[in-house]
């Protein structure tokens, strides 16, 4: 599309519109001001959300991207505005979230002079971006944005950064937007080798105790239906990673639970008992494997993976099936035998009963006076919609919410997985909600993490986003405290918190709020929260020294998973 000569700032905005961006999150400043001036003329075509901090902007863009499946967009000025995006970029990089981050920069003739708010964003962002570029002339803007969107969303998704000098924003140029459809040096995926499918099928067909571990790659590859068909035919038990939650409904007969440090007992323990392990769209993170020297050594491993860099990175596989798992799963389903693995499945169910008696009974139906985190999530489950989105911060509440939230639909799990970013949840929930105002977004936070980005309550107030915030307050940095209790002789060093009146803070932002301290008030409060037409802040005071189990301690084998 060609047009008359326009400012570079207008080219930025028109390029975003051409890429069908719907909402962007940002914070204005001097070096990006021309773009903000241009946004004023396009507010009916592109919504801008003013967050209260740049970190809030990028986490909101992440939440939007994770729920929508689209590219999230954020905008910041140079210097501190730009560097405030780095945590979110690192988070998006490790969790494969597609983002386009646009930052302003000082004029090209000032580069390298330590001008006011000049920062080397290309150097800083290189380790935590999929691609970055500095644009110094108006002619480079549209091609850079086109390439950025293509790279962000294609192959294994990730964050990209475009740093645009101020002169490029104010100079005039011709708007000629051509979407990027690929370029020579960038390969998005590998063609699937039929020989690899045949080898994988042979291993699976001969297995007595096959086991599927699936991760977020299933969601990113839109392969949820293909995973279900594969499991329906093969009869193989399947467990998910943290970010894989929701890819398979939890009521599927082959679903056996969650993997990892605070996952379920059976999925962890039986990893070291299977004879063929099929990993689908997961990267064998250390929180899943535990001690690598003692991880699944008895198993022959098949790895279905898009990114070649993840294959044999930590766990050696016998058969690597490189390519889109939507394709490879369909091909593998056609090649495997229809089977039942009832005896093998019973081992999972028997261990599940052990976990229920040892852990879940305490978490979900406690006898103590104090409220537990698990019973709060259990009651939320009873009132939430089937397609409700769970957004969590990082810590004990994250693990408890993950363990007990009933996932029935895909793209209903939003959390910081690989980086573990405290402060992620509140802005991410805002971004998730702004994708769809009609959908329930339930934000579960701890009293530590929420205070890192609590100012985004102001953005929720301004946008009227009906986010439901559940604060599980134990007046501790709970996960660190649990480790101090278990491994540091209860030396609680700087983990106890003197907290503010959260209800008053929420009400100051014109958000309806309630505090629950008694079990008898919890059910009604949760119901009131979920039917409320607008944002709601529910603080629940929970036991101060309640721990999350099962648990695999750092350096231990998955077989050393503890129930207490």
Q: List residues with catalytic annotation.
A: 54, 116-117, 166, 479
- Residue whose C-alpha is closest to residue 502's, from 445, 548, 545: 445
Q: Which residue, among 214, 201, 210, 267, has the nearest Cα to 236 in the 3D structure?
A: 210
Element (H, E) at 539: strand 536-541
- To which H or E segment does residue 223 belong? none
Smallest CA-to-CA distance from 311 within 268, 275, 281 is with 281
Q: Residue 324 and residue 314: Cα distance in Å, rounded? A: 21
Task: Please give the helix or strand (H or E) that residue 470 lies within, else none.
Answer: strand 468-473
SS3 513: strand
CA–CA distance, 239 with 215 (Å, rounded to integer): 9
Pick from 378, 357, 299: which is nearest to 550 by CA? 357
CA-CA distances (angstroms) from residue 204 to 192, 227, 271, 278?
A: 18, 15, 15, 8
Half-sphere exposure of 352 (CA within 13 A, CB side): 12
Phi, psi of 333 (to 5 degrees): -60, -40
Half-sphere exposure of 173 (CA within 13 A, CB side): 22
Residue 547, SS3? coil
Candidates 380, 422, 384; CA nearest to 401 is: 380
- Cβ atoms of residues 412 and 389 within 8 Å: yes
Locus of tokens 């100079």: 171
**Strands 172-176, 23-26: pairing kind:** unpaired
Name the one residue in this structure whose structure tokens are 């505090």.
515
Task: Locate the DSSP E strands across 231-370.
Answer: 238-240, 255-258, 276-280, 300-305, 319-322
CB-based contact 341:331 (threshold 8 Å): no
Distance of CA 309 to the CA centre of its chain: 20
Radius of gyration of the chain (CA): 24
The rounded distance, in Å, linking the Cα atoms of 132 and 81 is: 17
CB of 410 within 8 A of CB of 247? yes
> Rounded to whole angstroms, how far apart are CA atoms 192 and 83?
40
């Amino acid at each position: 599309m060609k047009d008359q000569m326009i400012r570079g700032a207008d080219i930025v905005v028109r390029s975003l519109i051409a890429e069908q961006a719907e909402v962007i999150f940002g914070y204005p400043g001097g070096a990006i001001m021309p773009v903000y001036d241009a946004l004023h003329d396009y507010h009916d075509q592109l919504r801008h959300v003013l967050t209260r901090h740049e970190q809030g902007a990028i986490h909101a863009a992440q939440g939007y991207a994770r729920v929508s499946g689209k590219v999230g967009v954020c905008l910041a000025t140079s210097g501190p505005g730009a560097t405030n995006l780095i945590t979110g970029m690192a988070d998006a990089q490790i969790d494969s979230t597609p983002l386009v981050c646009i930052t302003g920069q000082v004029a090209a003739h000032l580069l390298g002079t330590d001008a006011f708010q000049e920062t080397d964003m290309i150097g800083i962002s290189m380790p935590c971006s999929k691609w970055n570029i500095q644009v110094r002339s108006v002619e480079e803007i549209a091609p850079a944005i086109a390439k950025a969107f293509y790279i962000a969303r294609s192959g294994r998704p990730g964050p990209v950064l475009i740093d645009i000098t101020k002169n490029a924003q104010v100079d005039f140029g011709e708007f000629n937007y051509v979407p990027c459809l690929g370029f020579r040096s960038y390969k998005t995926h590998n063609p699937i080798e039929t020989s690899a499918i045949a080898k994988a099928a042979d291993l699976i067909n001969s297995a007595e105790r096959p086991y599927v571990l699936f991760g977020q790659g299933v969601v990113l590859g839109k392969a949820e239906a293909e995973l279900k068909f594969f499991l329906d035919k093969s009869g193989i038990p399947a467990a998910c990673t943290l970010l894989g939650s929701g890819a398979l409904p939890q009521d599927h007969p082959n679903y056996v639970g969650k993997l990892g440090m605070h996952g379920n007992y059976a999925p962890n323990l039986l990893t070291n008992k299977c004879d063929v392990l099929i990993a689908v769209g997961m990267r064998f993170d250390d929180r899943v494997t535990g001690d690598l020297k003692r991880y699944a050594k008895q198993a022959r491993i098949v790895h279905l993976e898009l990114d070649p860099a993840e294959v044999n990175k930590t766990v050696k596989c016998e058969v690597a099936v490189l390519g889109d798992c939507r394709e490879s799963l369909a091909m593998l389903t056609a090649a495997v035998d229809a089977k039942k693995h009832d005896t093998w499945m019973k081992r999972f169910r028997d261990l599940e009963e052990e976990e229920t008696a040892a852990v879940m009974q305490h978490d979900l139906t406690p006898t103590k006076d104090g409220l537990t985190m698990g019973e709060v999530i259990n009651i939320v489950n009873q009132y939430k919609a089937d397609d409700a989105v769970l957004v969590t911060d990082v810590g004990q509440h994250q693990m408890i919410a993950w363990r007990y939230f009933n996932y029935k639909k895909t793209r209903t799990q939003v959390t910081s997985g690989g980086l573990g970013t405290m402060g992620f949840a509140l802005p991410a929930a805002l971004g998730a909600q702004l994708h769809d105002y009609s959908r329930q977004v339930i934000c579960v936070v701890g009293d530590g993490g929420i205070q890192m980005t609590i100012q985004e309550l102001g953005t929720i107030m301004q946008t009227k986003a009906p986010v439901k915030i559940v604060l599980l307050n134990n007046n501790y940095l709970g996960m660190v405290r649990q480790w101090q209790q278990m491994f540091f002789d209860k030396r609680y060093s700087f983990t106890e918190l003197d907290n503010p009146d959260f209800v008053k803070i929420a009400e100051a932002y014109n958000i309806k709020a309630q505090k629950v301290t008694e079990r008898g008030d919890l059910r009604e409060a949760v119901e009131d929260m979920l039917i409320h037409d607008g944002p709601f802040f529910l603080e629940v005071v929970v036991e101060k020294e309640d721990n999350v189990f099962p648990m695999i301690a750092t350096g231990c084998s998955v077989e050393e998973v503890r129930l207490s």
